[in-house]
A and B are shown apart, each in its own frame.
Chain A
Amino acid sequence: MTDAILSTRSLSKSFGALQASDSVSLDLRAGEIHALIGPNGAGKSTLIAQISGALRPDSGSVIFDGQDVTPLPTVARARLGLGRTFQISALAMEFTVLQNAVLGALGQRGRAFRVLGKVMRDKALLESAESALQEVGLSEFRNTVTAELSHGQRRQLEVAVALTLKPKVFLMDEPMAGLGAEGSQRLTGFLDGLRHRAPILLVEHDMDAVFALADRISVLVYGRIIATGTADEIRANAEVRQAYLGEEDAA
Chain B
Amino acid sequence: MRRETILNVGIPGLLLAIGLLAYALDETYIITLATRAAILALAGVGLNIALGLGGLVSLGHAAFFGIGGYAMGILAFHAQTYMPLWGVIGGTTSMPIIWLVAVIASGLAALVIGALSLRTSGVYFIMITLAFGQMLFYFAISWPAYGGEDGVSIYMRNNFPGLNTLVPLNFFLICFAVLAVVLIFAGRLGKSPFGLALQATRQNVARVEAVGLAPYKLRLMAFVLSGAITGLAGALFADLNRFVSPSMLSWQMSGEIMVLVILGGIARLSGPVAGAMVFIALEYVLEDLSHYWHIYLGAILLLVVLFARGGLVGLIAGREVAHD
Chain A residues with CB under 8 Å of chain B are: 52-54, 73-75, 78-79, 83-84, 86, 90-96, 98-100, 102-104, 106-108, 110-120, 122, 125, 143, 145, 161, 164-165
Chain B residues with CB under 8 Å of chain A are: 185, 188-189, 191-197, 199-200, 203-204, 206-214, 217-218, 221, 225, 322-324
Query: Does A119 lie within 8 Å of B209, measured CB to CB?
Result: no
24 example contacts (A-B, Cβ-Cβ < 8 A) are as follows A52-B210, A54-B206, A54-B209, A75-B212, A78-B209, A79-B212, A90-B204, A92-B200, A93-B204, A103-B197, A103-B208, A107-B208, A111-B193, A112-B213, A113-B193, A115-B194, A116-B192, A118-B188, A118-B192, A119-B196, A161-B207, A161-B210, A164-B211, A165-B212
Given contacts A116-B188, A120-B191, contact A161 B206 (CB under 8 A): no
B207 to chain A, nearest CB (A): 5
A66 to chain B, nearest CB (A): 19
Closest-by-CB residue of B relative to A142 is B323
Query: Does A86 lie within 8 Å of B206, measured CB to CB?
Result: yes
B residues in contact with A161, CB < 8 Å: 207, 210-211
Query: Does B196 lie within 8 Å of A99, measured CB to CB?
Result: yes
Query: Does A115 lie within 8 Å of B206, measured CB to CB?
Result: no
Question: B322 touches which one: A95, A103, A117, A165 (CB < 8 A)?
Answer: A95
Query: Does A113 lie within 8 Å of B191, measured CB to CB?
Result: no
B residues in contact with A75, CB < 8 Å: 209, 212-214
A15 to chain B, nearest CB (A): 19
How far apart are the CA atoms of A249 and B191 in the complex, in Å? 53
Query: Does A115 lie within 8 Å of B196, measured CB to CB?
Result: no
Query: Does B212 lie within 8 Å of A110, measured CB to CB?
Result: yes
A residues in contact with B199, CB < 8 Å: 92, 94-95
How far apart are the CA atoms of A86 and B209 in the complex, in Å? 12
Given contacts A90-B204, A99-B323, contact A117 B210 (CB under 8 A): no
Closest-by-CB residue of B relative to A107 is B211
B residues in contact with A96, CB < 8 Å: 322-323
Given contacts A98-B323, A107-B212, A112-B213, contact A119 B195 (CB under 8 A): yes
A residues in contact with B189, CB < 8 Å: 115
B223 to chain A, nearest CB (A): 13
Closest-by-CB residue of A relative to B195 is A119
B residues in contact with A118, CB < 8 Å: 188, 191-192
Taking A54-B209, A106-B193, A107-B210 as given, write out 10 further A-B residue pairs in contact, using a Cβ cutoff of 8 Å, ordered by the A residue number: A53-B209, A78-B209, A91-B204, A92-B207, A99-B322, A103-B211, A106-B213, A112-B193, A114-B194, A119-B195
How far apart are the CA atoms of A210 and B257 in the complex, in Å? 56
A64 to chain B, nearest CB (A): 14
How far apart are the CA atoms of A78 and B188 in the complex, in Å? 28
How far apart are the CA atoms of A139 and B164 in the complex, in Å? 58
How far apart are the CA atoms of A122 and B191 in the complex, in Å? 11
Closest-by-CB residue of B relative to A118 is B191
How far apart are the CA atoms of A90 and B210 in the complex, in Å? 9
A residues in contact with B214, CB < 8 Å: 75
Query: Does B210 lie within 8 Å of A119, measured CB to CB?
Result: no
A residues in contact with B192, CB < 8 Å: 114-119
Question: B212 touches which one: A78, A92, A145 (CB < 8 A)?
Answer: A78
A residues in contact with B191, CB < 8 Å: 118-120
B residues in contact with A165, CB < 8 Å: 211-212
Closest-by-CB residue of A relative to B215 is A75
Question: B194 touches which one: A73, A102, A112 (CB < 8 A)?
Answer: A112
A residues in contact with B196, CB < 8 Å: 99, 102-103, 106, 119-120
B residues in contact with A74, CB < 8 Å: 209-210
Closest-by-CB residue of A relative to B214 is A75
A residues in contact with B324, CB < 8 Å: 120
Closest 6 CB pairs of A and B: A107-B211, A78-B212, A92-B203, A79-B212, A74-B209, A112-B197
B61 to chain A, nearest CB (A): 20
Given contacts A115-B195, A119-B195, A120-B324, contact A104 B211 (CB under 8 A): yes
Residue with the highest number of chain A CB atoms closer than 10 Å, among B188, B189, B191, B221 = B191
Query: Does B211 lie within 8 Å of A106, measured CB to CB?
Result: yes
How far apart are the CA atoms of A110 and B197 in the complex, in Å? 11
